[in-house]
Structure formats: C-alpha cells, structure tokens
Structure 1
C-alpha cells in the first residue's frame, strides 16, 4: 500500500514539473513572438518613414527642376526679344539707303534716301536705327549711317556762304566792269569827234543748242564737285536776254558730271543742256502751261536699268530701284521733268527733276526755294522752247557772250 502511494506521489511530481515546464515554454514562445512582431512593426514604420522622406525629397527635387526650367524658359524668352535703346543725335547717310517701315531686311521700303542725307536719330534696335526724316519715322541699317557732327554742319554752312559770296563777287565785278566801260565811253565822247559807231555786241546765249529758245534757266556751280548752285531765269525779248529772277539752289551731293559721262546712282547732276517734258506735284496745279500730274500714292519712277519702263512714271511698285514720288511731299510739292536719258540708255539713270529744296544736296536733281520753284513752273512756256543749262562757272564762256 505504501509503495502504491509512493508511486502515485512520484508521478504527480513529474506531472507538475512537466506542466510547469510547458507553461515556461509557452511563455518563452509568446515572448519571442511578441518581440518579433514589435520588430516587424518597427521596420514597417521605418520603411514608411523612409519612403515618405524619399517622396518628399523627390517632390522638392522636381519642384526645383521645374523652377529651373521655368527660369531658363523665361530667360530664353527675354533674350529673344530685341531691345530698343533710345538715342538722340543727327545722322548722315553714307550711301543711297532704303528707308523702311520696320527694322528688317524684308520690311517695306517707303523711300530711298540719297547719300549725305541728314536725318534725326531716335534710337537703335540691334543693327537698325530708328530715324525721322521729312516728318516721317522709319528704319535705316546702321552700317549706312554716321553721326552728323557740329563740325560737319559748320563746314556745310561755310561752303554755302563761300558759294554765295563768290556769286555775289562775280556779279559785282561784272557790274563794275560795265560801269567802267560806260564811264570810259562817256569820257571819250566828250573829247573826240563822233565816229561811226561799231556794231553793238548784245549779251546773251550763243550756243546753237539754245538758239531756238526764248527762256533759259542757267544753273552754275563754282566747280564740278560743288553741290551749291546759283540759279538765274532769263527771258529773251527781241535780241536781248533779260534776267528775270536769281536765287541759290542745290545740285547733286557729289556735284556735276557731263551728260556723256554721267552714270546712275552717283549722286551727280548731269551737266549740259536739258529740255523740259512735263510737270507734277503733290500740291494742285499752280497754273503751269505743261501737262501736270497730281501725285498719288501709287506713282513710282522706275529706275531698274533694262526695264521696259526704265526712267518712266508708272502706277505700281516695280521693286528693285525706284522712287516713290509720294514719299517726298516737300521736294515734290512742285516739280518739272527734264528730258535727261529720255532714250532709256542702260545705267545712265533717270528721274532728273527740278524741284523744291530738301535738307541738303540732291541725288542728281536741281532744287531751289519753294517761292522760286512756284514762279518757275508757272513761267516756263513750251511754246518758247525753254532750256535748262547746268554748268560749272568755268564753262560759262562757251555758252554766253
């Protein structure tokens, strides 16, 4: 009996130990599981935080890149827009130059300015000067324009003054010589016996080119290179030539060239005898006896050598080389058309007119003050075969006696 009780007691102890060991083992397993679960959550939280930071960093990087691209785009756009820089000075053209309505080689040409034309510079955009000429604004390529300095203006004024003084001195000398001749003749007549008078030499034009004319416009310069001229209107009455009007004017900026040698685009006025074909003007007909055309915006003078309408008035823009008459409202208020190169000889040029003064020398025409031009255009009469004689003063003896 005692053995049985001892056996039962020993078995119960083993059961208790096994049960306790199982409890401990379960607790250990549970602890391990809880620890591992916490580690998983921690890693997950770390992953979430890491991914969030990466996303935030990526977003900021994209924003910086976007702002950089935007800045570059704005900078590129800003650089592509040409800047206009305001400038104020007087300029002078160095060649015959196109006067355009916009700063581009493809822009419309509203007129052509002669070499040495004076303009008011308003500003610059890239290679283009914005200028004002004859009350109109336009654009000129900067490589054809230089500053017109105070010294340049002074030199031009001095040359004009000398020209006027020379003309006045020549006239005074001629009057003094005439007075001396009359005085000597009077003195001799008081002490000598009257004799048969010699035939009177009548002063006037002796050139055969002028023999059938009763009206002559005489234009003389001090030299072949001068652009300043003395202008006289002569009317023949019987056998005498009477001076009707005298004034000063301008010819080509490069002076004169004899008709036989004169070429296109040289800014030289043809020297010799010219006739008158017709008249035109921006203003209404002042009363000329010649056929008169009122200038309209579609009137052009074709200067394309070799063209069928070379040196002719046409009513459409021929392109190339031309004069748009309406672009010169001051000079062409009144104008006379000469017969220079009426036969359209290639490269001889054309559009040689007599018109009102502009701002300086001309591209080959003859100009004078408006009052004298109005007088001239209403005085000349095709029935009297008027001629225009353009010469340096050194040639006067060939045409006048």
Structure 2
C-alpha cells in the first residue's frame, strides 16, 4: 500500500522528469543543437530541404503590351504601380535584370498625381502619364550624392508653397530624376523643350515626397530617392514603367 507521503514523493519526481507536454525530458529525448541553440540533423539523415525563390523571368504585374514597350537593352526597370486609375497612391520597385531573371529591390510607398493616371496626359489635368520612359538625367537643390546619371545642381530646383493637402513643398526638389516624357533626353530636368507640344505637359519627375499628391510627378521618401540615384546606371539603360495596376497589366 502506497502511503500519502510516498505518493507525494513519486509525483514530485515525475514532474522533474517531464516537460510541458508530459514527455520525459531526458538527454536521450532532447534534440541535438548547435552552439547557437538550433537543431542539428542526425548523422546519416537527409539534409532538410531549403526553399529558394527563383527570380522571375518576367517582371510581375506587367502585361504583354507593357512588356513590349520595354527595350531589350533595359536592364534596370523602375516600376511605379498605382493603386487605382483615380488614386494618388502608388508603390515603387526597382528591378534589375540578372542571369537568373529579374531581381526586385524593396517596395517603397509613393504618391502620384492628385487625380490618378492618364493614357493621354495633358498639361494641368492633374494626372500622371501612363507608359514606359527613359531615365537619363537628374538634378536637385542639393549636391550630387554620387549618381552615375548626369546631375544638374542649382537654385532652379527650389520648391516653394504648399501642396494639395496644405503640406509644405520645401525640399521636394532636393533630388529629382527627370522622366523622359515630352522632354529632350540628355538635358537638365529644368530644360523646358517639349517635343509633343506645350499642351501635353512636361516636367514630370521622380522627386522627394512631400506627404501628398503631386501635379503629375511620382514622389518617394528622400532616403529612397538617394538610394535610387545611387543605383541607376546609364550603362544599364534604366527606364520607368508607370501607371495604375490595371493599365500595367495590359
């Protein structure tokens, strides 16, 4: 017969030998670990499978028509994807072509024009132009951060006033990259040559975000603008592909 005292001793011993799930935590049942505390594979066992995501052979989200507009020699593609046809919100991703496929960079939040996007941008319509455009020239109020693009620095990049939501525009043009829509590539972003005519607008840039919609440009955070300026390489023929997600999927 087991006395109450003997029963208490046996219960205490069993609790010392078991874990939360009631499985004996003896050395024989503990998984082998490395010095860092991670489990190791027992000798003779097959190595665990490692999931490796292959780079896509096509840039995600771009349809046949959009892909056809990207030149074969373009090895850097900045994809600006609008949330909707009439939305001023979008995202920016830099893709680089590698031997294994298109390698994506980080996804950055962005603003585009107040009224969204247009296939036939006109000056003053407050829509960003949909399409594929070269990225050849940069500039800004601040000194060149080290970009390989042609860079024009000057007071012409001063941005006074306020935006559509009352936010200050100061600093918006500290760094800009000209989008080759209705402009002459190889010139300063401040050059006002308009091959399609003045009525088709122009001066469409990637620039520093001021916290609200733009007139037609695409804006991202200052740190991301600096990263983009340092990443773009004229030898890789960079282009921007921009539009709302439905238009890019065509």
Please give the range of the TM-score, normalised by the shorter of the 2 chains: 0.5 to 0.7
Per-residue CA deviations over 1:204-262 (Å, capped at 9, x if unaligned) read 1461322321111111112110000011111111150011121100000111111xx11
- SS of corresponding position for 1:216: strand
Give the conservation status (yes or no) of the 8 Å contact 1:282–1:334: yes
Q: TM-score, normalised by structure 2?
A: 0.64
Runs of 4+ in 1 over 6 A off after TM superposition: none
- SS of corresponding position for 2:69: helix
Is 1:295 aligned to residue 149 of structure 2? Answer: no
Partner Cα separation in structure 2 for residue 390 and residue 266 of structure 1? 17
Q: TM-score, normalised by structure 1?
A: 0.40
Structure 2 residues not aligned, in runs of 5+: 1-53, 161-169, 184-194
Per-residue CA deviations over 1:38-80 (Å, capped at 9, x if unaligned) read xxxxxxxxxxxxxxxxxxxxxxxxxxxxxxxxxxxxxxxxxxx
Per-residue CA deviations over 1:156-207 (Å, capped at 9, x if unaligned) read xxxxxxxxxxxxxxxxxxxxxxxxxxxxxxxxxxxxxxxxxxxx99531461
Structure 1 residues not aligned, in runs of 5+: 1-199, 300-324
Query: How far does residue 378 in structure 1 lie from its aligned partner after superposition?
Result: 1.0
Please name the residue that 1:357 is paired with: 209
Q: Quick one: which of 331, 334, 339 aligns to 2:180? A: 339
Per-residue CA deviations over 1:244-293 (Å, capped at 9, x if unaligned) read 121100000111111xx110011111011111131111111000101111
- SS of corresponding position for 2:149: coil
Give the conservation status (yes or no) of the 8 Å contact 2:242–2:248: no
RMSD: 1.9
Partner Cα separation in structure 2 for residue 251 and residue 379 of structure 1? 22
Please name the residue that 2:13 is paired with: none
Partner Cα separation in structure 2 for residue 396 and residue 265 of structure 1? 23
Which structure carries more strand by proportion? 1
Query: How far does residue 396 in structure 1 lie from its aligned partner after superposition?
Result: 3.7
Partner Cα separation in structure 1 for residue 56 and residue 220 of structure 2? 29
Please name the residue that 1:85 is paired with: none
Which structure carries more helix by proportion? 1
Per-residue CA deviations over 1:319-371 (Å, capped at 9, x if unaligned) read xxxxxx32354111111011111214230011100001013100100000111
Please name the residue that 1:204 is paired with: 58
- SS of corresponding position for 1:327: coil
When Rg is computed on C-alpha atoms for both structures, the one with the higher figure is 1
Per-residue CA deviations over 1:271-316 (Å, capped at 9, x if unaligned) read 11111131111111000101111122xx3xxxxxxxxxxxxxxxxx
Structure having greater relative contact order (Cα 8 Å, sep ≥ 6): 2
Is 1:268 aligned to residue 124 of structure 2? Answer: no
